[in-house]
Amino acid sequence: MFNPNFGYTSKIVRLLTSISASREIILNSPMIPKWEVHLRHEAMIHSAHSSTSIEGNRLSLDQVSDLAFGREVMATRKDKQEVLNYLKVLENLDKLTEGDKITEQGILNTHRMLTAETLENASDCGAYRTRYVVVGNRLTGEIIFRPPENEEVPRLVKELVEWLNSEEAKELDTIIAAGVAHYEFVRIHPFVDGNGRTARVLATLILYLRGFDTKQFFCIDDYYDSDRPAYYRALQSVNQKTLDVTKWLEYFAEGVAVSIDAVKERVVRLSSERLRKAKRGQIALTERQMQVVEFINTAGKITSGDIQKMFEISRQAAHKEITKLLELDIIEQKGAGRTTHYIMK
């Protein structure tokens, strides 16, 4: 059976500790979004843009967002289809497993969904490669990596799946398990095309299955796309004789830490000291209410006029937003007449 080779360095331990601390802050924040669907959708849009962009997709983030909302964009059919496929996979993560188990068939289905109507040969969708491929630099033609032979692929994937469902893997930190799976899948390179996207979805699926990101708020792919050379250097840092993935895991854990920290920072901006200490549980806020709270925590106060400009709404509509926050006992009024403004309570 597959047996990963890695060690726990001080950097990995530090990052895992940081990730755990950030996650606790998010889970125990006194303010949570009522608009969880919005946050999840936003994260999926970023993931779809970044993960396909890494492999050459030319759509901008705005174009990906337009596609996600059903709007038409000017782009090639293949670029649009790749993004739509990725969004579909992320929306159906819970259907790619058997209960809490990752399966070989689930991986094949994932690849089929990711590459539908985008490959030159439709028979390559959801099917292991039957012709040998190498990983190379598209600009220079240089061969970067030679994956295992075609005949080895089915066995190697089966062994990886067996390991992922084993007690040994389940005892590992979720981040480590996801990072190991990400690299090993890229190394096996089981498909003619779409291996990177499938590997990143597999890592996301592990985080989802293990309860780390059940709400799908985090977008790790942005980290990879922000510095693609660093992503590829990290993948190439693994010695092919020893297959020691320690350096790769340091990079992977750093990506998760950066991603979850971005979510944590927003939660912190939303929470005043008084609310963080409150014992009355979490307060669910709408998208507008969250933006108002963020504004106050940044500027120190807010006026009705600020809210009107922020959302381009009428004076009466702004007053309604203020009234809701007053009723929730989140803000309080200061001043009177033209000097009226609101601060966090």
At 20-51, the pLDDT tens digits run 999 888 777 665 554 456 667 788 999 999 99
Predicted pLDDT of residue 302: 93
Could you tell me the end-to-end alpha-carbon distance of the chain, in angstroms, rounded to an integer?
A: 58
pLDDT digits (tens, 9 = 90+) for 230-276: 998 999 899 999 999 999 999 999 999 999 998 888 767 666 544 55
Between 314 and 25, the higher pLDDT residue:
314
User: Mean pLDDT over all residues of the chain?
Assistant: 88
In 3D space, the residue among 182, 204, 152 whose CA is nearest the CA of residue 4 turns out to be 182
Predicted pLDDT of residue 294: 79
Share of the chain above pLDDT 90, in %: 63
Predicted pLDDT of residue 35: 46
For residues 274-293, average pLDDT: 68
291 pLDDT higher than 50: yes
Q: Which residue has the tokens 């609101």?
A: 342
Cα 252 from Cα 261, distance rounded (Å): 14
87 pLDDT higher than 80: yes
Domain borders along the chain are: 33-251, 286-344
Predicted pLDDT of residue 138: 63
In this structure, are residues 102 and 202 in contact, taking their beta carbons and an 8 Å threshold? yes
| Lowest mean pLDDT segment, chosen from 63-67, 264-268, 334-338 | 264-268
In 3D space, the residue among 182, 153, 171, 160 whose CA is nearest the CA of residue 245 turns out to be 182
Between 65 and 180, the higher pLDDT residue:
180
Q: Which residue has the tokens 């012709």?
A: 131
In this structure, are residues 331 and 345 in contact, taking their beta carbons and an 8 Å threshold? yes
Predicted pLDDT of residue 340: 93
Predicted pLDDT of residue 280: 54
Cα 205 from Cα 299, distance rounded (Å): 39
In this structure, are residues 98 and 91 in contact, taking their beta carbons and an 8 Å threshold? no
58 pLDDT higher than 50: yes
Angstrom CA distances, 108 to 84, 157, 160, stand at 18, 10, 14
Please determine whether the domains at 33-251 and 286-344 fall in the same fold group of CATH: no
Report the CATH architecture of 33-251.
Answer: Orthogonal Bundle (1.10)
Between 213 and 76, the higher pLDDT residue:
76
Predicted pLDDT of residue 144: 76
| Lowest mean pLDDT segment, chosen from 6-20, 34-48, 283-297 | 34-48
Between 299 and 37, the higher pLDDT residue:
299
Predicted pLDDT of residue 103: 96
Band of residue 282 on the pLDDT scale cut at 50, 70, 90: low
Q: Which residue has the tokens 């009024």?
A: 333
For residues 330-338, average pLDDT: 89
Predicted pLDDT of residue 338: 87
pLDDT digits (tens, 9 = 90+) for 167-208: 999 999 999 999 999 999 999 999 999 999 999 999 999 999
* Tokens at 29, concatenated: 């924040």
Share of the chain above pLDDT 70, in %: 90
**pTM across the whole model:** 0.78
CATH 3.90.1150.10 given to domain 286-344: no
In 3D space, the residue among 53, 185, 178, 202 whose CA is nearest the CA of residue 113 turns out to be 202
* Tokens at 124, concatenated: 């390559």
In this structure, are residues 12 and 248 in contact, taking their beta carbons and an 8 Å threshold? no
Predicted pLDDT of residue 36: 59
Q: Which amino acid is at 128?
A: Y
307 pLDDT higher than 60: yes
102 pLDDT higher than 70: yes
